[in-house]
């Protein structure tokens, strides 16, 4: 095999290509959004039913053509957007998941500042802390929130009955005012039935508990504080405690085993942000009516949520903005919630009788609107930084390795910190 | 004499003749040009561009800061890189060796003169190869599942407790290797078979008359004639093995391939850094390191396979 050193000319050509390829992205904001307002291209991710919103919009605006593409999961969509932004051929409207948002907020020059299109007037409609996550350092708003997570515990009433535990959702909620009480309940369940209580400790305990406080991985000024934040350490220790208590089925979330275990009653509870309810319905259709939803230990918190943004190079920003302003109004978010269960980001509809009356048949007619909006109201917002997802992933991995019997619980915290430092360099 | 001169004068102008020969000289280059042009655009330029990006702290949608060889310095001190390297080599060995040996044996069997339904068996070798890798991954992930997998169910009868393949280092490597072997051994078998078919059957018949059994025939007739194709399959499977990506990603559903990165290969690590963490410069540095490794391995393979010859009778 022969390998020739490239000629300087080829190298120069490559560099020249680079220079031109990276020219896009910057530039001043046009005062008028582009396009004739007749059509726009919309990238969403699957599983969130944006098709319903688009159909709704079509009824009111039959003349506007919406080209909706479901790129893939939320991560794939964010990756595709990154590639599109670097290459210069972008969609007019894109849905970005909350965890992926900080990286884009750090580079606001890639997006329309929605204040100039009228976001200034509507921003009061949305939860302050949700809005602040899509507000860049320079004050520009790059995304309008479509939904939030909201937290609760989904549990199997039939399995609770077998274990001699109460099945009524109010009484179940009273079993676990704190995470410690939750773990104790789990121990009782395991003693009685010999089966696992939770699906896994890393998402059902750590990811929930770490989202319930004022300071997660960053302080309000944007400095990384994951190693000193008491909220993080407490959540980490709680999850190790759950592992040590032997209440976990050790099923990693979103895997085949996890989906199968859900249908076969391998575990009795899952921490379920509102968007997870759809996964339970899809993975375990035969368990309809056997589930119910109770309050989460430790009170309010949020996990997840998405935003709509308009990339700077969009050809039809005008039409895209019209879609955002019409479909993300409080009334439209309420309609979307009633159709598909995505929790509104607009607190003005939280007291709406239709939202409060919304019951879910699959989950024993649990009043999901009421339960999830209540979990948001006492929430203490925290700053989400560009490396939040990477930091969270390393903590999660450290707990998983202990849970799977590969890691030493005494060293788990230190090894997590080392891995985070390797990963993000600080 | 004059006639000759006249004829020279009547001859077509010399320029045309030169013109034709230039065309003839250029033509072959024009015929092969498409490949080299396409290679330059889709092969060489991206390759050089990768070398270039590796020298930067490169955010795809933000700043590009020149950092020189910092990415490489960081790479050599990164435990995740050495972990990915060992994982890759381990999976490659576990999948390549059994695959080639198995293919060799099956090819020999399929070449048997008295095999009934030979075409059916030969064609069925291709089934794993034409099956979508995603479908294969789903089936294998279910078979190897800790709680609901077929394999652990069978092991249960033998009194062996459930093995958590996905979570352990060796288990996950084995699982991926089995999948790679299953997918590729049929393809390799057919390559070997094609080579075996080229050997005149009379040679085998003569050997049989001389009293050589199946093993001796294989050892002294089949194996030597297969040498070039064996070298070819070793080189291609080395390159493929070092670039293994889809199988571990689909089996684990994560770019880290498990909580302790137990099956994260070099390409998965590259993908995680570049497209997961948006560190394109660091990702490119991993790509360059991988490129160098493949060149080294290919060279090593070449040297070894030209030196080592199967024994002659």
Tell me, letter by letter, the H, E, C secondary structure of B125-186: CCHHHHCCHHHHHHHHHHHCCCCCCHHHHHHHHCCCCCCCHHHCHHHHHHHHHHHHHHHHHH
In B, which residues are within 8 Å of A23 by CB distance?
none
- Distance of alpha carbon A94 from alpha carbon A44, whole angstroms: 6
Asked whether A291 and A154 are in contact (CB, 8 A), the reply is: yes
pLDDT tens readout for residues B158-215: 888 888 888 889 999 999 999 999 999 999 999 999 999 999 988 988 998 998 888 8
CB contact under 8 A, A404 and B299: no
B62 touches chain A (CB under 8 A): yes
- Residue B45's pLDDT is 94
Give how far B266 is from chain A: nearest CA, Å: 16
pLDDT < 50 regions, chain A: 1-30
Suggest the residue from B37, B60, B249, B296 to mutate for an interface test with chain A (most A CBs closer than 10 A): B60
Q: Which residue of B has its CA nearest to A389?
A: B277
- Distance of alpha carbon B194 from alpha carbon B217, whole angstroms: 17
Q: Any idea which residue has 């995470």 for tokens? A: A179
Give how far A259 is from chain B: nearest CA, Å: 11
CA distances from A176 to A205, A294, A426, B278 (A): 13, 10, 36, 40
In A, which residues are within 8 Å of B138 by CB distance?
256
Suggest the residue from A389, A401, A402 to mutate for an interface test with chain B (most B CBs closer than 10 A): A401
3-state secondary structure of A351: coil
- Predicted-complex ipTM score: 0.78
A259 touches chain B (CB under 8 A): no
pLDDT tens readout for residues A306-358: 999 999 999 999 999 999 999 999 999 999 898 888 899 999 999 999 999 99
Question: Do β-strands A39-44 and A93-97 pair in parallel, antiparallel, or remain unpaired?
Answer: parallel
Query: Residue A323: CB partners within 8 Å, gap ≥ 6?
Result: A40, A42, A57, A64, A66, A93
DSSP codes of every residue in B41-86 = IIIIHHHHHHHHHTTEEE-TTS-EEE-TTHHHHHHHT-HHHHHHHH
A103 touches chain B (CB under 8 A): yes
Nearest to A331 by CA among A308, A310, A352: A352
Residue A363: other Cβ atoms inside 10 A? 25
Give how far B277 is from chain A: nearest CA, Å: 7
| Percent over 90 (pLDDT), chain B | 48
Q: Any idea which residue has 């294969």 for tokens? A: B136
Smallest Cβ–Cβ distance between B62 and the set A107, A390, A398 belongs to: A107
Q: Which residue of A has its CA nearest to B169?
A: A406
Question: Within its chain, how far is the Cα of A260 from the centroid?
Answer: 23
Q: Is A269 left (phi over 0), alpha (psi -120 to 50) or beta?
A: beta
B295 touches chain A (CB under 8 A): yes
A223 touches chain B (CB under 8 A): no
CB contact under 8 A, A82 and B61: yes
Residue A319: other Cβ atoms inside 10 A? 26
Asked whether B249 and B268 are in contact (CB, 8 A), the reply is: yes
For B109-126, what is the mean pLDDT? 84
Chain B residues 179-238 within an 8 A CB cutoff of chain A: none
pLDDT tens readout for residues A182-223: 999 999 999 999 999 999 999 999 999 999 988 899 998 889
Q: What's phi and psi for B244, nearest 5 deg?
A: -60, 130
B256 touches chain A (CB under 8 A): yes
- Residue A10's pLDDT is 41
DSSP codes of every residue in A125-145 = GS-HHHHHHTB-TTS-B--EE
Nearest to A239 by CA among A261, A206, A270, A210: A206
- Residue A18's pLDDT is 43
CB contact under 8 A, A107 and B148: no
Largest CA distance in chain B: 107
Give how far A105 is from chain B: nearest CA, Å: 11
3-state secondary structure of A366: strand
The pLDDT of residue B157 is above 80: yes
In A, which residues are within 8 Å of B259 by CB distance?
396-398, 400-401, 404, 406-407
CB contact under 8 A, B147 and A10: no
């Amino acid at each position: 095999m022969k390998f020739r050193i490239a000629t300087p000319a080829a190298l120069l050509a490559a560099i020249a290509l680079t220079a031109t390829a990276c020219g896009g992205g910057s530039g001043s904001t046009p005062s008028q959004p582009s396009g004739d307002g007749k059509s726009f291209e919309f990238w969403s991710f699957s599983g969130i039913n944006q098709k319903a919103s688009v159909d709704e919009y079509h009824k009111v605006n039959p003349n506007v053509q919406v080209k909706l593409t479901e790129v893939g999961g939320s991560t794939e969509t964010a990756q595709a957007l990154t590639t599109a932004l670097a290459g210069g051929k972008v969609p007019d409207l894109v849905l970005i998941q909350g965890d992926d948002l900080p990286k884009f907020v750090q580079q606001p020059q890639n997006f329309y500042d929605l204040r100039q299109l009228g976001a200034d007037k509507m921003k009061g409609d949305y939860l302050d802390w949700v809005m602040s996550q899509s507000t860049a350092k320079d004050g520009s708003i790059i995304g309008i929130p479509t939904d939030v997570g909201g937290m609760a515990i989904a549990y199997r009433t039939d399995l609770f009955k077998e274990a001699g535990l109460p099945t009524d959702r109010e009484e179940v909620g009273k079993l676990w005012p704190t995470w410690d009480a939750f773990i104790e309940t789990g121990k009782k369940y395991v003693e009685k039935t010999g089966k696992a209580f939770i699906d896994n400790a890393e998402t059902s305990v750590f990811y929930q508990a770490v989202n319930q406080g004022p300071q997660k991985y960053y302080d309000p000024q944007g400095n990384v504080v994951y190693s000193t934040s008491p909220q993080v350490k407490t959540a980490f220790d709680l999850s190790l405690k759950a592992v040590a208590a032997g209440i976990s089925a050790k099923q990693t979330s979103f895997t085949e085993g996890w989906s199968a275990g859900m249908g076969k009653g391998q575990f009795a509870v899952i921490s379920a942000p509102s968007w997870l309810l759809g996964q339970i319905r899809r993975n375990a259709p035969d368990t309809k009516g056997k589930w119910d939803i109770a309050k989460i230990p430790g009170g309010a918190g949020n996990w997840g949520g998405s935003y709509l943004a308009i990339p700077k190079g969009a050809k039809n920003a005008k039409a895209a903005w019209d879609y955002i302003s019409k479909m993300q109004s409080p009334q439209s978010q309420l309609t979307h919630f009633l159709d598909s269960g995505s929790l509104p980001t607009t607190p003005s509809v939280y007291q709406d009788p239709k939202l409060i009356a919304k019951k879910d048949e699959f989950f024993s007619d649990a009043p999901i609107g009421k339960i999830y909006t209540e979990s948001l109201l006492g929430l203490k917002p925290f700053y989400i930084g560009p490396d939040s997802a990477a930091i969270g992933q390393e903590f999660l991995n450290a707990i998983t390795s202990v849970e799977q019997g590969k890691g030493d619980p005494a060293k788990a915290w230190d090894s997590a910190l080392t891995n985070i430092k390797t990963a993000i360099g600080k | 004499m004059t006639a000759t001169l006249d004829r020279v004068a009547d001859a077509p102008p010399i320029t045309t003749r030169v013109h034709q020969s230039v065309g003839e000289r250029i033509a072959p280059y024009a015929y092969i040009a498409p490949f080299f042009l396409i290679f330059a655009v889709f092969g060489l330029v991206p390759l050089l561009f990768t070398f270039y990006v590796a020298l930067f702290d490169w955010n795809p949608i933000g700043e590009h800061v020149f950092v020189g060889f910092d990415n490489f310095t960081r790479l050599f001190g990164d435990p995740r890189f050495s972990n990915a390297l060992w994982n890759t080599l381990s999976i490659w060995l576990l999948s390549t060796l059994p695959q080639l040996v198995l293919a060799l044996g099956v090819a020999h069997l399929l070449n048997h003169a008295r095999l009934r339904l030979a075409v059916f068996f030969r064609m069925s070798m291709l089934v794993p190869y034409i099956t979508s890798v995603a479908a294969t991954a789903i089936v294998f992930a279910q078979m190897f599942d800790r709680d609901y997998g077929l394999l652990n169910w069978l092991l249960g009868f033998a009194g062996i407790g459930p093995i958590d393949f996905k979570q352990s280092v060796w288990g996950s490597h084995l699982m991926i290797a089995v999948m790679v072997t299953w997918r590729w051994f049929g393809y390799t078998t057919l390559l070997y078979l094609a080579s075996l078919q080229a050997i005149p059957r009379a040679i085998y018949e003569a050997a049989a008359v001389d009293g050589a059994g199946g093993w001796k025939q294989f050892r002294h007739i089949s194996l030597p004639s297969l040498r070039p194709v064996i070298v070819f399959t070793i080189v291609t499977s080395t390159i493929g093995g070092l670039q293994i990506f889809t199988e571990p990603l689909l089996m684990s559903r994560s770019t880290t391939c498990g909580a302790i990165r137990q099956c994260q290969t070099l390409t998965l690590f590259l993908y995680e850094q570049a497209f997961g963490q948006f560190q394109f410069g660091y990702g490119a540095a991993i790509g360059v390191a991988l490129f160098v490794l493949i060149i080294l391995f290919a060279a090593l393979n070449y040297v070894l396979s030209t030196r080592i010859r199967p024994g002659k009778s």
